[in-house]
Amino acid sequence: MKILIISPVYSLAGVPLAQLRLAKSLGEIGHKVDLIYGCKKFNKIEKSKNIKILFFNKYRVIGMLLPLIKYLILNKPKIIFSAEDHLNVIVVLAKIISFSKAKISVSSRVTPIDTYRNSDNLFSKGWFLKKFFPLVYLKADVMTCVAKDMVKQYRKMFKYTKQVGVYNIVQDKDSIIKMREKLNHRWFDKNKSQLIVASGKLAKWKGFDILINAAKILNEKKINFKIAIIGGGPEKKSLSKLIKTNNLVSKIKIISPVTNTLKYFFNADIFVLSSRVEGMPNVMIEAMMCGCTVVATDCPTGPKEIIGNNTYGYLSKFNDPQDLSKNILKAMNKKISKDKTKKILEKFSTTQVIKKHFSLLKIKKKYWKIN
């Protein structure tokens, strides 16, 4: 079956990575998948079975409309998977204009509180998206969110919405291979220190300052630990200054973005997610898959849904370095075993996610696994 998966930008993180994993998984079971990106951040492209990767070379989502219309007329896919609200609008418009008969599954990956925060401001991005939301609702066959709390938020904001929760694929064949790749980094040399890792864009909403302040508390208690923060972004300078100000240079290292974070997680003891807001943090699931004990802030949305009542990790109070430090200490003293997290990780497996997508789209079962 011909399937189109579309994303605004090619990257090996976040939404683009989730779309890539979905494409690979569908290709592996025999579907012909076209993976379209508006643009790419770097040149290293991962090729896979039954996948054709196309670039529109458009750096704004609105610029993807005309080439997408042309693509739909010429290629006639049976299913379209789109992610992110602004791209979802473009996909729906392209389907209408091209008279495409494809079934569309659109996914929201960011909380509506964030996406539509400026919707009262005339002609703002949030205002336009809110105006087009009824059209997406009418024309999309399936609307999904990556977390149950996000579904609740959308239903509160848009009384008529039909969103349901479907997780991203995290536990796939490629990821299991990648996490076992050899890691050569002196910060990850085995010693007596508990090795903590965190990863993501160095931006305010990711809350790395909260982690650094928690580390200060642990250091004052003479706890033996090291922290690796993997990522780049606008807050790098201020975070580096905070590390230096708190005399944590020997304890915390910021590592520039890498193409394979999984092997870093695999060689760490604890993963910390200190975010102020999330959708469903794939990176937390990845770390859990790699055997890390997870400590996360109770931010909207995602962590609590996975960790539960400290069942599969340790949940900390929102925006609270003191409580985060306490939970990191708990994780140091009592790890969560991989056998225990196996049950929750199954929800992010290739089989479970494809089964749910195809069931919602009312695709015949013979296409669910066609190898």
> Going from the N-terminus, what domains does the chain have, and what CATH number goes with each?
2-169+349-367 (3.40.50.2000), 177-345 (3.40.50.2000)
CB of 252 closer than 8 Å to CB of 231: no
Which is nearest to 145 in space by CA: 215, 83, 59? Answer: 83
Tell me what pLDDT residue 42 has: 62
Q: Six-digit token pair at 316? A: 């900390």
Beta strands in the chain (DSSP E): 2-10, 32-40, 51-55, 79-83, 103-108, 142-145, 164-165, 194-199, 225-230, 252-255, 270-273, 293-297, 314-316
Per-residue pLDDT of the chain (371 residues; tens, 9 = 90+): 999 999 999 887 788 889 999 999 999 999 999 999 998 766 567 778 899 999 999 999 999 999 999 999 999 999 999 998 999 999 999 999 999 999 999 998 877 777 767 767 776 777 888 888 888 989 999 999 998 888 988 888 887 778 899 999 998 888 999 999 999 998 888 777 899 999 999 999 999 999 999 999 999 999 999 999 999 999 999 999 999 999 999 999 999 999 899 999 999 999 999 999 888 899 999 999 999 999 999 998 889 999 988 899 999 999 999 999 999 999 999 999 888 999 899 999 999 999 999 999 999 888 777 55
pLDDT number for residue 80: 98
Quick one: pLDDT at residue 44?
65
3-state SS class at 186: helix
Residues 6 or more apart whose CB falls under 8 angstroms from that of 158 comprise: 112, 133, 137
The structure's pTM equals 0.89
